[in-house]
Structure 1
Amino acid sequence: MFMPTVAHHADYLCQAVARLGSESAFEVLARAKALEAQGRRVVHMEIGEPDFDTPEHIKRAGIRAIEDNYSHYTPSAGIPELRDAIADYASRFRGLTPAYARENVVVGAGAKPIIWNLLSAILDPGDELVYADPAYPAYASAASYLQAKPIPVALLESRNWRLDLDELAAKVGPKTKAIVITSPHNPTGGVLTRDDLERIAELAQRHGALVVSDEIYSRNIYGPTFNSIAQLDGMRERTIIVDGFSKAYAMTGWRLGYCVAPEAIAKTVTLFNNNTFSCVATFVQHAGIAALTGDDAPIRRMNAIFRERRDAIVAGLNDVPGVSCTLPDGAFYAFPNVSQVTHDDRHLAQWLLQECGVACLGGSSFGAAGAGYLRFSYAASIDDIRWAVAQVREHLPRYESPAR
């Protein structure tokens, strides 16, 4: 009797899977939850998630939409009412005239699917995607999968985690399809200045490149008024803004993001939406309208609390021997330098979780330029931050770095 040979399941996977990266925050979150299940106290500083509840008026809008039976399919780009609200908000917030139209807006189930579908729309094999290093992993992962070439450009601690503009100029060239900028930045909290943006704009225009401007943390800023590269002359036509509701409105689990792009690109991103997740849950989109058009006071209040937490964690980390930390200008991450403590930041992060109950990430998980650093999300209470820093200060002297 013929018995077919059953291949190992891995043999069925496509080769392209090897080009995919991963977001280690969710892996560390799972390990931290497992420790908590054992009765351990763990402070969660690994995941980029506001610890606040979604503001009440946004929740009520979502519940009301469910009760009103907004639970059916919608257009793949999003319901017109939300696209109009996003176009109006994106224009007003950035001071852009004439205003964007709904045709420029594509809604997605979080910013990550938008990033994937956007890069799928613009990148051909062999194209180069220039991006800041360290970086949010989704950009390099998607570019690699699409057989484009990710080109990292170092962020400099000496510039308070802003781009090395000379290195950027050297790496942008004829094969550059797009430059990715994230300001405020994950994982470092750096914020690009107007002068930085003008230099980037000049390079993009000279080489005919697009700019993907990830502005998901644009409401989490502690310094001067937020600047978008789309505000600069000649840049609106070649800039794609990536934004969403997770960070500013404490809506991570709602899964609602968007891009604002030139119309032809927006249409193609919509086509990818249609072929992947079809559409975003209708009641979630109605909650998004409430977020953009309702009371803004809760968002400002959350940001003020983030500022207090930032000051507390940075002061605390700078009081730990062998650790130094710059003061982030935006987002809600501290990115301390631990190179005097260890050559293996991921090992140190694992040790801090296991031995101290402090969940954080090794900087090298965000790229080669993050080696020697840790990322702490300060989306935790002041009490938790103080406890976590005290744990690090008390226990770090007995840490042993692994042999090289």
Structure 2
Amino acid sequence: MSPMKTSPRSSVLIDLAAIRHNVAHLLAMLTPGSGILVAVKADAYGHGTLPVARAAVSAGAQGVAVATAEEAVVLRDAGFHESILVMGPLYSFDQYEEMARQRVDFAVVSDHMADLLPSLRGSGLEARVHLKIDSGMNRQGLFPAQVDTFLESIRGIPEIGLAGVMTHFACATEDPASIDFQLERFLPVIERVRQEWPAVLAHAANSAATVHTPRSHLDLVRCGCAVYGLSPWQEDPVAEGLLPALAWKSQVALVKRVDTGEGVGYGHTFRPSAPTDVALIPIGYGDGVFRALSNRGEVLINGRRYPVAGRVSMDSFGVDVGADGRVKVGDEVTLIGADGDDRITVEEVARRLGTINYEITCDIALDRTERRFLNERPDKEPDGSR
């Protein structure tokens, strides 16, 4: 028996040419001598860790940053041999050892990690670590007053190499002046660390700081959202010189005429004031279409906008497509991306929901959709052949 033919209920399309453009755009902003690490944590914000990592490096990035040791191992196992930084935390000594064996840098982000680090003495491994400084975010990192104690704790341990010193900005988009406040705390730490580790790399800037605060570029910047064509300010990314990399498409599964006053979907929260057609889109909140978009969201079909009609269900939602008969079964539906002269941006969806753009991309359920990569360049991107 031949296998059943499958038809994807939706498709996430990732344009790797857009990733390369955005990396090049950010590199052009940097002060001389500064490089870029691309944040590919959380499956590259829903865009695909390995393809994005390869595309970013091919466009000039020095490497990538992830959140967990497991994310780093996945990249190494897939043949990605470029620089990786785990921004942490790590949770056990065996993770320290594995990161050293895999030649993955990791950040020391807590007292517990700092206390455990000297246990590498005598292991025969070589660990490259980045000391994270809490300069005002009050989340991860050691305070500046703890730096001397940390440096003393690793002094004379050949298995530990201090490769970087880093911090993270708390309010780079909301209050750019806070960047200077945090830098005033961070810059003296860099000077102190370089008294013993003169080659240490200093890095702090996220996407927003990279764009508007050149003073924060230091040796490296760590960019996430802008690499994906997502606006750090939740505005129009194209106006900021970025190209959105993600589009999300589905299709019309059925079209049904609904008479005046009839209810649609759970709770009958939509009742048309005149006869209309309701198109069923075969994805719902189980796929990442937020239920809060019920009677609030919009989609594009054949280049025209249509409103969500009724509640978003787990596996489907309705769209009021009017009574003109233009919309047919099988027509492409755009939830995110361009169709004709119009575009629905991730930022637009996020504004409707009162959240940020990359929550939207991270929440697409990739186990219920297909993801396809456009404009790959396998002949020019690192593939583990080294």
**Greater Cα radius of gyration, structure 1 or 2:** 2
Same fold (TM over 0.5): no
TM-score with structure 1 setting the length: 0.29
Higher strand share: 2
Greater relative contact order: 1 or 2 (C-alpha under 8 angstroms, separation 6 or more)?
Answer: 1
TM-score with structure 2 setting the length: 0.30
